[in-house]
Amino acid sequence: MLLPQRSWINRSVRGTSAEARAGKWFLSVLAFVAIVVPIFNQLVPPTSAFHLSAYALTLIGKYMCFAMLAMAVDLIWGYCGILSLGHAAFFSLGGYAMGMYLMRQIGPRGVYGDPVLPDFMVFLNWKSLPWFWYGFNHFIFAAVMMLLVPALVALVFGWFAFRSRVTGVYFSIITQALSYALMLAFFRNDMGFGGNNGFTDFKDLLGFDLHSDRTRVVLLLLTAAALAASYLACRAIVESRAGRVLRAIRDAESRTRFLGYPVESFKLWVFVFSAVIAGIAGALYVPQIGIINPGEFAPINSIEVVIWVAVGGRGTLFGAAAGAVLVNYAKTYFTGALPEVWLYALGSMFIFVTLFLPRGIIGLVQSRIKAK
Amino acid sequence: MLLLVLLSVRSVRAQSQTDNNFLSILGELRKASFPDKEAIIDRLSQTGHPSVRVVLTAFMEDRLFFRNDNQTIVIVKSTDGNPAVLDLVDPSSLKSIGTAPMGNLTRIDTNNHLRQVLGTTVAHFALSSPEAGVRLDAVREMMLSPDEKSVALLRERSAVETNSSVKKGIAIALALVALDDPDAQVRLDAIQTLRISASQDVRNKIAGLLDQSSDGKFTEGDARVRNAASAALVVIDRWRTFYSGIETLFFGLSLGSVLVLIAIGLAITFGVMGVINMAHGELMMLGAYTTYVVQTLMPGHIGISILVAIPAAFLVSAFTGILIERTVIRFLYGRPLETLLATFGVSLILQQLVRSVFSALNRSVVTPEWMSGTLQINDALGITYNRLYIVIFTLLVFAAITMVLKRTRLGLDIRAVSQNRAMARAMGVRSEWVDAMTFGLGSGIAGVAGVALSQLTNVGPNLGQSYIIDSFMVVVFGGVGNLWGALIGGMSMGIVNKLLEPYSGAVLAKIFVLIALILFIQARPRGLFPQSGRSSENS
Amino acid sequence: MTIRDKVLYLEKVTVSFDGFKALNELSLYVDPGELLCIIGPNGAGKTTMMDVVTGKTRPDSGTAWFGRDIDLLKLSEPQIAQIGIGRKFQKPTVFEQLTVFENLELALAGNRSFMKTFLATMAAAQHQRVDEVLEIIGLTDQRAAPGRTLSHGQKQWLEIGMLLMQEPELLLVDEPVAGMTPQEIERTSELLLSLAGEHSVVVVEHDMEFVRSIARRVIVLHEGRVIAEGDMDHVQNHPHVIEVYLGV
């Protein structure tokens, strides 16, 4: 009698085997990319048709950062029912932290040649570095800030919001308001974050030239590693008992509270964790793209992330990653070939997916498999 | 009888002789240089011709032209909107004499100095106008550049003036001049008179009395006068702060009015149907563009264009709203988060549509005559008409909607469906139809909000995005589904925003409001006036 | 047996809402291990009584004791749930997307903090407990089935199962068989009977057949007070009860 019970245990305690298989598949794809990309960039000569240009490297890296961001959103939305319409804010906060480090690294090589002050500060006639820039010339400090700042903002915001039992659409609206407020703040020239130009013209990171292909490859590999690590971390949460509690909260919050679970605490934990992942994604995004500006905080960016998750399939983690890649690939294609069409396409995607594909593309595939 | 005829003929002839004299002096303006023009103006004002004031006013407003064909001087009625064909008025009879194309006319030019002279001269004439308002404006005008002639006229007028505000204005103007009098007592008395004024110019002049030169010597020698001046300053400044506060309040109300208009529509759709419509801002934008289109279609009638635009915008947005409801939202009832996302998609499409049809650039909407200008309460407080009308308009719309909801059949159906859909259906209410109509009503109001907004700012495809977050905030603050909540919430948010602005700038003010709202929700998660009964969260 | 040896003791409990007396000096007791049924027409105060016991409503006067010395009126709702009083509401709310096993797992007693649940692995003893409860509620074969695939009756049993996971001393069950098929009703009565003894069970019901099948002792409530008490026969023939139910 023990054996059949164990297989039930496997299924109910460790997630369905379908999910486990898909997860393994996802990690294999990542591994494949991690191996193939360096080869086709470094070892294949630039003249060959198979060479992956720097542009392609940047694109792949960008997609992977977005995949991380999408997973962060899926963790709280797909599994806990918290729809955040402001997650791009956490992404950007991490990005700005990295940006500050990179700006300090420019040193005397900037346009104005000031060894301490970044160009935009010289331009604004500032005499000294504002206090919150101290420490950003050390990578360790910046790395800590990339994690800490999004975490703190999420902690404070989430604590206030969850504690007062703000849920559903109300919560989504105020996350949107939060990212909007941050956007307004970062656009101001006197905030000390580069104003509407943001940060750009980065030179190197930890001594490695950001424009060299080799550095790009390494960054891309790091991103792939971060993506894999976040995936595994999210899986760990989702498949633990805590993950089941999260799903219980998603489906019947008051019942879960009635069972004695500190619902607000659970929400806060995953919200902060998700913000940290988003922050890391943002921090990896900036050196690859080469620029960060306050437009990244724009509410529409956060809403786009949600559509990536919805298209891919929420509540599946790898689906979110797939959705991010798919939609952004479409965006890259459309904004290049038919720019006016892109917004129509995006808008229609929102409508189509919510009306006809509530479980995303992955859901569609899954039901096809089940039907067979 | 014959005597009468002879007398009238003589007076007509005398009149036409005055006319000719007048017209010939006027004619000299065609070729005169600017200094000459000044002298001509003086001579014109001496003629005593009844049309002098109108002619000089037209001259000051760049509406004095001469015809290229026969070199006669004409006044143009209005150059608003740069029309190709202008209505002409005869300068001596002040009667309409037909039209002429712009190309056949040459304007008689002015410069700043000339306009100033004209202003003072016209003011002199205005001083004897039968209307008190005109006289008061004249006094103000003369106060700005008090030459000897003005002062003499003012003194003269002060003796016979009956209207109290004008009398007060004259007293102030004369007192201002008296501040330069050599006699200290005169200056002291002048300060006493000036204490009641809240004008910036008066304040500056009194403050000037306390000026010190670099070696510590005061401009004003007499210590008593100096003390009186500082005391007066305190009083004046207090009044100015008070009026400034009222002005801020008013700005807050007008900003709040726009928020209220947008929020009412949202409160209805969210409250009744539990639908979060992210395209609400775009429905408002469509209303603003409708205003633009209406104005483009009726360029000569800007005045009534607004009145036409209001129902037009209502219909356009209502129709679009119903379309959205029938095609998209209908299938997503009970799933508010999905509705949010789907309507966001709609908003993207609407924005892009407008960009394709109208171009991505901003369009400007013209404010009609009857809505422009300022109501000067006193020297420190001026209320712009357009904002005033918007506030009044908002209150009217609010009253109308409340009336619709409380008194009409549709309103009854809407309230029934929102409180208990199943029961309403059992009573025969066609809830699907009610849903569509409710959505149409809410969207139509958004369109009307767009008309109001077009008067305050430029119209562009992103108009909706700038206000959507604010309007959500109002709904969240005021309580979902509650009209009074939308009204009070919107007005208070507008006022708070404007109150903070002088201290923190517009952007930070917005951030503070946002944060304050998040904190407010702590205490009252369902808003000021929570909706009892159905909650869209329980789905 | 002294008064205080009862597992639940209510004395002269009065609850009024805006002048309307939901409970009017209600007094009743529950013996340890018994299966007590409470019946009465709508508005009799059955749900209010349970609200008072679980701490959802505070009475205007009267006392409520749990066991020898626990004053229920001094405790909050979550505290009362902790000390061993479990309540099953009318509408079953199980977690639809989780399996039967996972539903029961969540109801396991134990540390509820995020960290602890994240790191938690199922100990053999806990696993056994879940299996036991599955056995009791008769859902062993459905352990891997998602909540949403269960029938109405099965959901009710699952909910009782979730209550049992917390090892309650007193179970308050509100209208368990509403909407069930006859077979389900039979199984439910078996289940509740099996629970009595180790637990004390108070069942509120309307279905007279069901009550007859499970009840040893029945209490009839009307307008907030007890009007009859005894076994089913006694109660059904009680003149006041007949009057109240049939209006004769």
In this structure, the answer to whether residues B71 and B136 fall within a common structural domain is: no
Beta-carbon count within 10 A of B106 CB = 12
CA separation, residue C179 to residues B360, C38, C156 (Å)? 60, 19, 10
List the structure tokens of B431: 């809830």
Contacts of A117 (CB under 8 A, 6+ apart): A126, A128, A129
Q: Is the dihedral of CA A246, A251, A257, A263 positive or negative?
A: positive
Beta-carbon count within 10 A of A201 CB = 14
Beta-carbon count within 10 A of B444 CB = 24
Convert the pLDDT of each residue in A21-59 to its tens digit: 888 888 888 888 888 888 888 777 777 777 778 888 899
Which domain does B25 fall in, by range? 20-113
Sort strands B64-67 and B73-76 into parallel, antiparallel or unpaired. Answer: antiparallel
**A64 within a domain of the structure (yes/no):** yes
In this structure, the answer to whether residues B81 and B147 fall within a common structural domain is: no
C88 close to C173: Cβ distance less than 8 angstroms: yes
Q: Which residues of C touch A5 (CB under 8 A)?
A: 131
- Identity of residue B228: A
**B239 within a domain of the structure (yes/no):** no
CA separation, residue C148 to residues A79, A224, A295 (Å)? 17, 38, 44
Q: What is the pLDDT tens value at each position of chain C, 248 positions in all?
A: 455 588 899 999 999 888 888 898 999 999 998 999 999 887 788 889 999 998 888 999 999 999 888 898 888 887 888 888 988 887 778 898 899 999 999 988 778 888 888 888 888 888 999 999 999 998 999 889 999 899 988 999 999 999 898 889 999 999 888 888 888 898 999 999 999 888 999 999 888 888 888 888 999 998 888 988 998 888 888 888 888 877 64
Helix B463-478 and helix B431-454, axial crossing angle in degrees, nearest 10: 120
Which ranges constitute the DSSP H helices of B479-531?
Answer: 483-523
The C-alpha of B435 sits at a distance from chain A's nearest C-alpha, in angstroms, of: 18
What b/e readout covers B11-49, taking b as 16+ CB neighbours within 10 angstroms?
A: eeeeeeeebeebbebbbebeeeeeeebeebbeebbeeeb
Neighbours of chain C (3+ CB pairs under 8 A): A
Q: Which residues of C touch A256 (CB under 8 A)?
A: 95, 106
In this structure, the answer to whether residues B209 and B355 fall within a common structural domain is: no
In this structure, the answer to whether residues B93 and B160 fall within a common structural domain is: no
Give the count of domains, chain A.
Answer: 1
Residues 403-462 on B with a CB inside 8 Å of A are none
**B325 within a domain of the structure (yes/no):** yes
Q: What is the pLDDT tens value at each position of chain B, 539 positions in all?
A: 566 666 655 555 555 777 788 888 888 888 888 888 888 888 887 777 777 878 888 888 888 888 888 888 888 877 776 777 888 888 878 788 888 888 888 888 888 888 888 877 887 777 777 777 777 777 777 777 777 777 777 787 777 777 777 788 788 888 877 777 777 787 787 777 777 777 777 777 777 777 766 666 677 677 777 788 788 888 888 888 888 888 888 888 888 898 898 888 888 887 777 788 889 999 999 999 999 999 888 887 777 888 888 999 999 999 999 999 999 988 888 788 888 889 999 999 999 999 888 888 888 887 777 777 777 766 667 778 888 888 898 999 999 988 888 888 878 887 777 777 778 888 887 878 888 888 899 999 999 999 988 888 888 888 888 788 888 888 878 876 678 888 888 888 888 888 887 777 777 777 777 777 777 776 776 777 776 544 433 33
CA separation, residue B444 to residues A59, A65, A136, C85, C165 (Å)? 44, 42, 52, 55, 55
Closest alpha carbon within chain B to A170: B476
In this structure, the answer to whether residues B216 and B271 fall within a common structural domain is: no
What b/e readout covers A92-119, taking b as 16+ CB neighbours within 10 angstroms?
A: bbbbbbbbbbbbbbbeeebeeebeebbb
Closest CA to B253 of B456, B26, B481: B456
**Which among A164, A172, A343 is the nearest to B352, CB-wise?**
A343
Q: Which residues of A touch B281 (CB under 8 A)?
A: none
Convert the pLDDT of each residue in C77-109 to its tens digit: 878 888 889 888 877 788 988 999 999 999 887
**B169 within a domain of the structure (yes/no):** yes
**A1 within a domain of the structure (yes/no):** no
**B485 within a domain of the structure (yes/no):** yes
Angle, alpha carbons A360-A361-A363 (nearest 5°): 65
**B529 within a domain of the structure (yes/no):** no
Question: Do A176 and B469 make contact, defined as CB atoms within 8 angstroms?
Answer: yes
Convert the pLDDT of each residue in B76-131 to its tens digit: 877 776 777 888 888 878 788 888 888 888 888 888 888 888 877 887 777 777 77
List the structure tokens of C132: 């036991």
The C-alpha of C248 sits at a distance from chain A's nearest C-alpha, in angstroms, of: 43
Q: What is the DSSP letter of C9?
A: E
In this structure, the answer to whether residues B292 and B406 fall within a common structural domain is: yes
**B244 within a domain of the structure (yes/no):** no
In this structure, the answer to whether residues B367 and B455 fall within a common structural domain is: yes
In this structure, the answer to whether residues B407 and B432 fall within a common structural domain is: yes
In this structure, the answer to whether residues B338 and B371 fall within a common structural domain is: yes
Q: What is the DSSP letter of B479?
A: -
Distance in angstroms (rounded) separating the CA atoms of residues C53 and C50: 5
Distance in angstroms (rounded) separating the CA atoms of residues C179 and A360: 35
In this structure, the answer to whether residues B443 and B303 fall within a common structural domain is: yes
A194 close to A280: Cβ distance less than 8 angstroms: no
Q: Is the dihedral of CA A25, A26, A31, A32 positive or negative?
A: positive
| Sheet strands (E) in A91-210 | 199-200, 204-205, 208-209
- Identity of residue B539: S
**A37 within a domain of the structure (yes/no):** yes
B352 close to A344: Cβ distance less than 8 angstroms: yes
Question: Do C117 and A240 make contact, defined as CB atoms within 8 angstroms?
Answer: yes
In this structure, the answer to whether residues B96 and B155 fall within a common structural domain is: no
Place of tokens 């494949």: A32
Q: What is the pTM of this model?
A: 0.78
Give the count of domains, chain B.
Answer: 3
In this structure, the answer to whether residues B203 and B338 fall within a common structural domain is: no
Q: Which residues of C touch A12 (CB under 8 A)?
A: 99, 101-102, 143-144
B478 close to B529: Cβ distance less than 8 angstroms: yes
List the structure tokens of B264: 């009412």
Question: Which positions in chain C have a beta carbon within 8 angstroms of at least one beta carbon in chain A?
Answer: 78, 81-82, 93, 95-99, 101-102, 105-107, 112-114, 117-120, 122, 127, 131, 143-144, 162
Contacts of A95 (CB under 8 A, 6+ apart): A282, A283, A285, A286, A292, A296
Enclosing H/E stretch for B46: helix B34-47
**What are the structural domains, with CATH classification, of chain C?**
3-246 (3.40.50.300)
Q: How far is CA C156 from the centre of its chain?
A: 12
Which domain does A166 fall in, by range? 15-371
Sort strands B105-107 and B64-67 into parallel, antiparallel or unpaired. Answer: antiparallel
**A360 within a domain of the structure (yes/no):** yes
**B422 within a domain of the structure (yes/no):** yes
Distance in angstroms (rounded) separating the CA atoms of residues C127 and C107: 12
CA separation, residue C40 to residues B513, C35, C233, C246, C247 (Å)? 55, 17, 15, 12, 13
What b/e readout covers B163-200, taking b as 16+ CB neighbours within 10 angstroms?
A: eeebbbbbbbbbbbbbbeeeeeeebbebbebbbbbbbe
**B300 within a domain of the structure (yes/no):** yes
Distance in angstroms (rounded) separating the CA atoms of residues C192 and B101: 99
